[in-house]
Structure 1
């Protein structure tokens, strides 16, 4: 009998708990508060604690991802290394000059971004071809001139296929591969990597508190915004470049 009373008592407590608490949980879920706000607040606190504004570091195996050393040749046949970008905020893209589709809006977007920072020697761009057999310095030079590029802080780079593909796929995590089944024969991502003055890849947080990692570069800047669609990110990238430039961080 006592055991029966005990079970009834427990059931009453559970019922009261459910009536009081579960509606609040459902309300938070319906408003995305659990999924969005809690994670975002944690991420923002971590970012604030690191004194790095609202841009996150991109981690791999628990370590902040930093651009590794590299050595390529640019459109003017000058040797360019990672040291040439020390102390600068810069963007990295992987592309190729014969690309029939996404490279066109990507590089038009980069021209627009470059114009935003015209004359700023603390900003730069590195465009690395994934088609080195075709994209010689001469071809890259012609390509840069076609887009009206200011070459003072923008290098179009070529080198050995192995080093380029290792840099793209393993070091940056940006897709680059051969694919004979598509026009152009090469497949690559349409994203830009944002790198700070110390060589670390940086990014803003998405609405869920996660780093975006890379910025969409293949969507034209003036594309109309579509709710819950694939929208341009060039304006937010410009804002984030300005944020890093304001820090004026010296190279470590």
Structure 2
């Protein structure tokens, strides 16, 4: 082998790893992303609403999409105390809508939420909120009994009730999931499982009140995805702090 070829190989052996190191050092940082849900639209034009990005980075546009924010609300918890969305500020949380007499999807959802709660049991930045769609039956006593059945950690997983006129619009317009009382349309319906129509979705909400994901609470694989994306969201906050 000629000396020039040997010299070229030697230079490559020395230079290429150095270039890779410099690349990884400058550009190889981990970047975590999780989409926002429900972009807002202008009611007159139908266009997606935009706002100026206050801190644009080199790879970000000057304008940002405006996304839906959960409105403030106040309900009653399993201890009979007032509980408002203000108590969730500075936390990411998972919400579901259920009722204690449900024998179909609710037990599956609550069982999966127990698993998610156990995964983040020591993380004070994570909370859980289960809101009853059967508030006339689900008083604090019923909620407390249900919470015990699913090993809910007091102060971490909150079970809430209140007036239907507050809860139903909150579900539909706040968390973007369907809910209905079928008995209002068909008085022949007697079974609670047929009466209260609600979604099986678990909703991930960030610290600013934005929805970051919807997950099938009856599907273990989709709940695994929820757990992963909760970790991603926590990492985003950790990285940006």
Tell whether the structures are fold-level matches, with TM greater than 0.5. Answer: yes
The superposition leaves residues 61-87 of structure 1 with CA deviations (integer Å, 9 ceiling, x where unpaired) of 233011110001100112111111111
* Equivalences for residues 75-154 of structure 1 within 5 A: 75-154=78-157
Paired residue for 1:202?
Answer: 212
Q: For residues 111 and 139 of structure 1, do their structure 2 counterparts lie closer, same or farther at Cα, with a shift above 3 Å needed?
A: same
Whole-angstrom distance in 2 between the partners of 1:247 and 1:55? 9
* Equivalences for residues 154-193 of structure 1 within 5 A: 154-180=157-183, 181=189, 183-184=191-192, 185-193=195-203
* Equivalences for residues 43-54 of structure 1 within 5 A: 53-54=32-33
* Structure 2: stretches of 5+ with no match in the other structure: 1-30, 42-47, 49-65, 184-188
Whole-angstrom distance in 2 between the partners of 1:147 and 1:57? 30
Q: For residues 189 and 182 of structure 1, do their structure 2 counterparts lie closer, same or farther at Cα, with a shift above 3 Å needed?
A: farther
- The alignment status of 1:240 with 2:224, answered yes or no, reads no
Whole-angstrom distance in 2 between the partners of 1:182 and 1:242? 42
Paired residue for 2:21?
Answer: none
Whole-angstrom distance in 2 between the partners of 1:196 and 1:170? 17
Shift of 1:170: 1.6
Whole-angstrom distance in 2 between the partners of 1:67 and 1:188? 18
- What TM-score do you get using the length of structure 1 for normalisation? 0.67
Q: For residues 199 and 166 of structure 1, do their structure 2 counterparts lie closer, same or farther at Cα, with a shift above 3 Å needed?
A: same
* Structure 1: stretches of 5+ with no match in the other structure: 1-51, 204-213, 222-231
Aligned-pair Cα RMSD in Å: 1.9
Shift of 1:53: 3.1
- The alignment status of 1:55 with 2:34, answered yes or no, reads yes
Equivalent pairs counted in the alignment come to 179
Paired residue for 2:51?
Answer: none
Whole-angstrom distance in 1 between the partners of 2:74 and 2:169? 13
